[in-house]
């Protein structure tokens, strides 16, 4: 029986990973550790909260005595580390909180795993990271696992630092690790500071749709359930010490994706064609805004057989339908203390 600690399991990507592992592997005991900051929400896990193999633990990954105690008490066999401060705009405003959570928190977990596991076999520390550590691409080319790191924001610098720590613990202490770097995710349960849920909610309420600069920054988009499947595959089949890039082979300019959203939303809301697009508002570009990200996921495809399951428009339809059917969820996460973040209308990374 495997005991798996999933950090950040109440967040957007984390909740999809937790649900997948709880449902697919009933013989595993899944421990979800989350600090329940503004983007962590236990409503995301109602489907599995009564499952016999699911356990929730509220706590902070930077609390070293607490983390060490968890490893001693539960004897985890593996860690899937997703907990992170993840929003570029907030990292520009408050870089030290990103360094604390993303760098120090990762170091605390690595130390706890090293201390707990020693030289035991069958253990794994899986670190989930971002394509932003690679910096910014020009008009052509792709990020591969060999692309040199070149982070451009406090967020991406903190994630790059944590990636290097994981690699260092593997080489110095022989800690069994794997790392994955993923492109932009979209889908259900995403906090509406990010581009797609922000735009969907603003369209519903006929609010302005803020687009940075000219809207010509390019991102590679991946359906979050496909990311969770990739994590599953890498966790079970990935080679120790290796990095795997996860991407959707699906590049879109920000402005084009907003126009597509408007088109689909007009149809679903019974509005006149072009009505939602009138809400598009161009705002001052973000400091250090990376021009283009694009992932080459060939290694993951060829070595482990993973590939995206959905075409983008189909995934967008599913995503929009979910938010339209879960207005209460959006209202809950954007109420009270959440509003201080949401009302600033951040527009994704």
- Average confidence (pLDDT) over 21-48: 94
User: CA nearest 115: which of 105, 126, 107?
Assistant: 107
343's CB contacts (< 8 A; 6+ apart) are none
d(CA 319, CA 174): 41
**pLDDT for 225:** 96
Residue at 297 is within a domain = no
Query: What mean pLDDT value characterizes the chain?
Result: 92
Residue at 299 is within a domain = no
What angle (nearest 5°) sits at the alpha carbon of residue 181, between those of residues 167 and 195? 140
**pLDDT for 337:** 52
Q: Residue 334 sits in a domain of what CATH number?
A: 3.90.25.10
**pLDDT for 1:** 67
* Catalytic annotation present for 132: yes
Sheet holding 78-81, edge to edge: 54-58, 29-34, 3-7, 78-81, 124-130, 177-182, 243-246
**Cβ–Cβ under 8 Å, residues 211 and 255:** yes
- Average confidence (pLDDT) over 40-59: 95
Q: How confident is the model at residue 342 (pLDDT cuts 50, 70, 90)?
A: very low
Catalytic residue among 132, 163, 193, 225: 132
d(CA 121, CA 335): 46
**Helix 254-268 to helix 195-204 angle, to the nearest 10 degrees?**
40
Whether residues 287 and 235 fall in one domain: no
Residue at 30 is within a domain = yes
User: CA nearest 128: which of 37, 25, 40, 8?
Assistant: 8
Look at 150-154, 255-259, 295-299, 330-334 and tell me which has the smallest mean pLDDT: 330-334
pLDDT tens-place string over residues 280-297: 999 988 777 878 888 999
Catalytic residue among 34, 60, 131, 193: 131
Whether residues 259 and 335 fall in one domain: yes
**pLDDT for 195:** 87
Domain boundary among 210, 231, 246: 246
Whether residues 167 and 151 fall in one domain: yes
pLDDT tens-place string over residues 143-194: 999 999 999 999 999 999 999 999 999 999 999 999 999 999 999 999 887 8
What angle (nearest 5°) sits at the alpha carbon of residue 68, between those of residues 124 and 17? 45
Residue at 347 is within a domain = no
Whether residues 117 and 45 fall in one domain: yes
**pLDDT for 311:** 83
Residue at 54 is within a domain = yes
* Catalytic annotation present for 155: yes
Whether residues 198 and 118 fall in one domain: no
Residue at 300 is within a domain = no
Q: Residue 127 sits in a domain of what CATH number?
A: 3.40.50.720
Whether residues 80 and 179 fall in one domain: yes
| pLDDT greater than 80 at residue 108 | yes
Residue at 162 is within a domain = yes
| pLDDT greater than 50 at residue 347 | no
Whether residues 121 and 197 fall in one domain: no
Whether residues 89 and 206 fall in one domain: no
**pLDDT for 349:** 39
Alpha-carbon separation of residue 147 from 98, 143, 241 (angstroms): 23, 6, 16
Structural domain span for residue 168: 3-185+220-246
DSSP-assigned letters across all residues of 131-160 = GGGG----SS--B-TTSPP---SHHHHHHH
d(CA 337, CA 45): 21
Catalytic residue among 155, 186, 244, 342: 155
User: Which tops the pLDDT comparison, 4 or 140?
Assistant: 4
For the record, the structure tokens of 348 come out as 């994704």
Residue at 38 is within a domain = yes
Neighbours of 214 (CB within 10 A): 11
User: To which residue do tokens 């989930």 refer?
Assistant: 128
| pLDDT greater than 90 at residue 58 | yes
Whether residues 170 and 214 fall in one domain: no
pTM equals: 0.92
Whether residues 258 and 319 fall in one domain: yes
Whether residues 99 and 230 fall in one domain: yes
| pLDDT greater than 80 at residue 316 | yes
Alpha-carbon separation of residue 138 from 134, 141, 156, 172, 217 (angstroms): 12, 7, 18, 35, 10
| pLDDT greater than 80 at residue 340 | no
Whether residues 322 and 199 fall in one domain: yes
Work out how many domains the chain is built from and give that number.
2
pLDDT tens-place string over residues 297-306: 999 999 999 9
Q: How confident is the model at residue 336 (pLDDT cuts 50, 70, 90)?
A: low
pLDDT tens-place string over residues 195-249: 898 999 999 999 999 999 999 989 899 999 999 999 999 999 999 999 999 998 8
145's CB contacts (< 8 A; 6+ apart) are 181, 242, 243, 244, 245, 299
DSSP classification of residue 100? I
Q: Are strands 209-212 and 29-34 parallel, antiparallel or unpaired?
A: unpaired
């Amino acid at each position: 029986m495997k005991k798996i600690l999933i950090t950040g399991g109440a967040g957007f990507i984390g909740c999809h990973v937790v649900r997948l592992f709880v449902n697919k592997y009933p013989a595993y005991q899944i421990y979800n550790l989350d600090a329940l900051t503004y983007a962590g929400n236990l409503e995301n896990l109602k489907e599995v909260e009564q499952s016999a193999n699911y356990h929730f633990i509220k706590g902070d990954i930077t609390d070293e005595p607490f983390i060490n105690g968890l490893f001693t008490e539960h004897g985890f066999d593996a860690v899937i580390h997703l907990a992170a401060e993840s929003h570029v705009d907030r990292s520009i405003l408050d870089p030290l909180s990103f360094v604390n959570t993303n760098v120090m928190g990762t170091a605390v977990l690595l130390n706890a795993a090293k201390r707990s596991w020693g030289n035991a076999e069958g253990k794994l520390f899986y670190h989930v990271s971002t394509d932003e550590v690679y910096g910014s691409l020009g008009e052509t080319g792709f990020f591969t696992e060999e692309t040199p790191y070149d982070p451009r924001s406090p967020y991406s610098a903190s994630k790059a630092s944590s990636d290097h720590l994981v690699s260092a613990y593997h080489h110095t202490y022989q800690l069994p690790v794997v790392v994955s770097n993923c492109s932009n995710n979209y889908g259900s349960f995403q906090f509406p500071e990010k581009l797609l849920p922000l735009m969907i909610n603003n369209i519903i309420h006929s609010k302005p749709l803020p687009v940075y600069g000219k809207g010509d920054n390019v991102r590679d988009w991946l359906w979050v359930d496909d990311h969770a499947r990739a994590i599953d595959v890498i966790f079970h089949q990935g080679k120790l010490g290796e990095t795997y890039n996860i991407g959707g082979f699906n590049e879109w300019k920000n402005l084009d994706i907003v126009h597509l959203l408007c088109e689909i939303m007009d149809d679903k809301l019974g509005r006149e064609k072009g009505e939602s697009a009138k809400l598009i508002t161009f705002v001052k570009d973000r400091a250090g805004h990376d021009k283009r990200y694009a992932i080459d996921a060939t290694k993951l495809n060829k070595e482990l057989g993973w590939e995206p399951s959905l075409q983008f428009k189909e995934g967008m339809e599913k995503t929009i339908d979910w938010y339209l059917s879960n207005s209460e969820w959006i209202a809950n996460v954007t109420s009270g203390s959440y509003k201080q973040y949401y009302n600033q209308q951040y527009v994704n990374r």
